[in-house]
Amino acid sequence: MKMTIVLDTTDPDGLEDAYKIARMLRQKHVKHAAFGSGKVSFSKIALIKFIRLYGQRCEKHLADCRISEMTEEPRLSGLKDCALFVDAHWQNLKGEG
């Protein structure tokens, strides 16, 4: 279906009605907008699994540090380390929503 809407910028009520019509049509016909907000929702269980996976990664990192006898303490909560972990697993987490 194609529709042409003429907008009169001097008619605030008409602009509001046109906006409502466009929003209604978008909700009805657009399932996945390419220009979405980027917000992602996922279940509580998916989040718990994700945090558990990060904990396992941290435990492995600690064990590796003990084996190699590093003189420097491992950083487990650094912003960069957390961001790299999230980036590596983000698509999987989004898919579990």
pLDDT in tens, the chain (97 residues): 787 878 899 999 999 999 998 888 888 887 765 655 566 777 888 889 989 999 999 888 888 888 877 666 777 888 888 888 888 888 777 766 5
Measured distance CA(22)–CA(28) in Å, rounded: 10
Domain residue ranges of the chain, discontinuous segments joined by + = 44-95
Alpha helices in 43-78 (DSSP H): 44-68
Structure tokens at 84: 């790299």
pLDDT recorded at residue 33: 58
- Angular region, 37: left φ>0, alpha ψ -120 to 50, beta rest: alpha
Do 43 and 58 contact (CB within 8 A), yes or no?
A: no
- Which helix (H) or strand (E) segment holds residue 94: the answer is helix 79-95
pTM score of the predicted model: 0.51
